Amino acid sequence: MKILSIKKVQQGFTLIELMIVVAIIGILAAVAIPAYTQYSRKAKFSEVVVSTQALKTAVELCAQDLGSLTNCVGGTNGIPADVTNPSPYVASVKTAANGVITAIAVTGQALSGETFILTPGYSPISGTQWGKSGTCFGPGAVAGVAAVTADPTATPPVAAVAGVTAVPGTSAICN
């Protein structure tokens, strides 16, 4: 009697193998899409943060020249005037009384009109220190320098900037 050996040729993937691959792709997509969305929002909002840098430098120079932040307002003392729609992601950038800079994102293009606020504190001894706040830090969150310390020797005396503390773990677009 003769034994025939028949080779079984693999004919493709089994259904379970295909289901495993689809499940892995689904899990990766479920993680990657929200992460990419948040990354994209942060990248767009970085333009809002960068739009404040020229004003920040101007306010620091104004404070050094005048010895205080009192007259450091947009359009005066070397500080650029307030700007509306300077870029596709920035709605406005303004410098208010005492050198407080507020930048507002546009509404649309993955942004929701978030604000980014820089609050200066000035002392002739320590210079200008900045506190950061705004709606971009998430609900109720405020971040920035640990504190703008009080300096009674400054003219006028500098009080600590209220409410400026770091909040760890916030899912913010401006961190």
- Locus of tokens 């070397």: 78
Residue 22's pLDDT is what? 95
Residue 175's pLDDT is what? 59
- Locus of tokens 């306010």: 59
Residue 151's pLDDT is what? 46
What are the structure tokens assigned to 145, written together?
């320098």
Residue 124's pLDDT is what? 86
Q: Return per-residue pLDDT of the chain as tens, 175 residues.
A: 566 666 666 678 899 999 999 999 999 999 999 888 888 888 888 899 999 999 999 999 999 999 989 899 999 989 999 999 888 999 999 999 899 999 999 988 888 889 999 999 998 888 899 999 888 876 544 444 333 444 444 444 444 444 444 344 345 676 5
Residue 5's pLDDT is what? 63
Nearest to 44 by CA among 111, 102, 100, 103: 111
∠ CA 149-153-154, nearest 5°, is 75
Residue 3's pLDDT is what? 66
Residue 105's pLDDT is what? 92
- Cα 164 from Cα 123, distance rounded (Å): 17
What are the structure tokens assigned to 6, written together?
């028949």
Fold of the 15-144 domain: Glycoprotein, Type 4 Pilin (3.30.700)
- Cα 50 from Cα 118, distance rounded (Å): 12
What are the structure tokens assigned to 66, written together?
């005048």
For the chain, domain boundaries: 15-144
Residue 2's pLDDT is what? 62
